[in-house]
Homo-oligomer: A and B are copies of this chain.
Amino acid sequence: MGNKDVKVVSFWISPFARRVEWALRLKGVDYEYIEEDIYNKSPLLLELNPVTKKVPVLIHDHKPIIESFIILEYIDETWNQYPLLPQHPHQRALARFWANFAEQKLLDHAWIAMCSSGDVQEKALNIARDAMEKIEEEIKGLKKFFGGEDIGYLDIALGWISYWLPVLEEVGSMQIIDPLKHSATIAWMNNFLSHPVIKESLPPRDEMLAYFHSRRKALSSTFQNFFKD
């Protein structure tokens, strides 16, 4: 499995970059980790990803692949062991749909809510809570993971909910996950965080809190007009 032809350009707290590492680890693909300073981007990153200049970048066979969901598809197509996406096209379509949905409705709006206050926060929270409600419905009735007994594509895609979202909630002094309403989500979060591959690949919570507090402060003016029309 040793394969130093595989590199991941990452940023320690990025939930997007972490997905790439989880997928490689689940498949047993060895990789080199390269930490990027996203506030002072390296010539390497700008060369690898001149279009969006973002992490994560997966480098394989000296070629860069960007965007975490696209990288997950690439990993699943390149290394056949431990398939991530379901086999049936309809199940694959559902996994892709819910991955995008959680990103656009839950993650983006939890982020806006964390960085804002008043009306803007309330509107963003409503969208995030509504998304959480719908995701809870999808999680209900799962065996253990979306991938069945094992972690699959959609578990990886939504994995941030188990660890990043509670930090965003704490920093924003807000509640999105409601233990009384989202018991299936909470059970799934516990399963996810107990998995040996995941629990050894998480950033330190105290450093996350400090980092997101500083982002909240820096970005609070940016989102004040977000929903104005």
Contact = CB atoms under 8 A, between A and B. Distances in A.
A225 B222 contact: no
A158 to B, nearest CB: 15
A67 B96 CA distance: 10
A73 B96 contact: yes
Nearest to A228: B225
Interface string A18-62: 000000000000000000000000000000000110000000110
A199 interface: no
Contact of A77 (B63, B89, B101): B89
Nearest to A96: B70
Contact of A74 (B52, B78, B92): B92
Q: Which of A65, A73, A93 has the most CB of B within 10 A?
A: A93
A92 B77 CA distance: 10
Interface string A202-229: 0000000000000000000110110011
Contacts of A71: 93
B229 A66 contact: no
Contacts of A78: 89
A97 interface: yes
A101 B51 contact: yes
Interface of A: 51-52, 60-61, 63, 65-67, 70-71, 73-74, 77-78, 89-90, 92-93, 96-97, 100-101, 134, 221-222, 224-225, 228-229
